[in-house]
Amino acid sequence: MSSKDREESLIQQFKERIENSQKHVFSPAEILSLLTQLRAEYPFPRSLSERKLQRTLVDDGILREINLSATYSFEAKRYHFGAFSEYELALSLKPGAYLSHGTAAQLHGLIDHDPTTIYINKEQSPKSSKGSLTQTGIDQAFASKQRTSAYAVTHQQTKIVLLSGKHSGRLGVTKITGSQAEELELTDLERTLIDVAVRPTYAGGSKVVARAYRNALPQASMSRLAKTLHDLNYVYPYHQVVGFYLQNAGCPLSALQPLRDPGLQFDFYLEHAMKRTRFDSTWRLHVPEDLSSAR
């Protein structure tokens, strides 16, 4: 067999491997790893290196580079084989990341989140908690707008926002199958409800979050939600926020005792920088004056 024939055979083997992998988006490192595996199983022509074969795959159009732009110094490349979803592309940008916040809420059928903005969360390394809460500190922190991520990668009309959430050991992360039969990792229903309550900006604001809770109420597990919130171990009293959203969605107060058990030591806020508010004494919570209720 000539060198050209062996090269064509290797390319065919590569195509069969990625067709069977259910992956459609690849980093350069993933491509090289697959070619290294092939080299161990099939004889490469001496003149053909893994990197040269990779260039051939791109030059021949078997792998196509995905055009990306970013708001920060981003030099990574991504390639695709066949049709791919924007969700798979998003997850490929940060190994270990998962779909979260408004994107997860949309995939769970809780809200009509704009699919052209995708949120992925890559957790930070573990850090120790700092300081203690005071009412003055809470008031000052929530008087200004919530900080949002400045890190985004754009592909065509889709903006992928990269979040660096607190370390949780990927608590509540689950898997689903996407529209292209790809495997997607995202937060489960209960973790998603907590995430959008903590960072409502990434879901469209408190009114959208309130609607998500109403839609989730028939299927959400109160015990799992309370345990997940406890395990996330937030410094701020987000149990008051989650409890309010659940009661606002129609959950009876008697079922929410696990969220009242941590106590109500502080007046808290449903979201940052609210203009016109009312005070909910049940949860010691400032909420938007025009927030509708299912009660």
The helix-helix angle for 189-198 and 222-232 (nearest 10°) equals 50
Percentage of the chain beyond pLDDT 90 is 76
User: For residue 284, is pLDDT > 60?
Assistant: yes
Percentage of the chain beyond pLDDT 70 is 98
Nearest to 153 by CA among 235, 261, 217, 73: 73
Say which range, 6-10, 12-16, 145-149, 156-160, has the weakest mean pLDDT: 6-10
Please write the tens of the pLDDT for every residue from 181-202.
899 999 999 999 999 999 999 9
Would you list the domain boundaries of the chain?
Answer: 3-66, 85-288
E strands of 135-209, at which residues?
152-155, 158-163, 173-177, 183-187
> 0.95 exceeded by the pTM?
no
Please write the tens of the pLDDT for every residue from 226-278.
999 999 999 999 999 999 999 999 999 999 999 999 999 999 999 999 999 99
Strand order across the beta sheet in which 79-80 lies: 25-26, 79-80, 64-65
As a whole number, mean pLDDT of residues 1-19 equals: 81
Please write the tens of the pLDDT for every residue from 118-139.
999 999 999 887 678 999 999 9
pLDDT of residue 76: 83
Calculated CA dihedral for residues 3, 8, 13, 16, nearest 10 degrees: 180
> Confidence band (pLDDT; 50, 70, 90) for 70?
very high
As a whole number, mean pLDDT of residues 95-124 equals: 95
Average confidence score pLDDT of the chain: 93
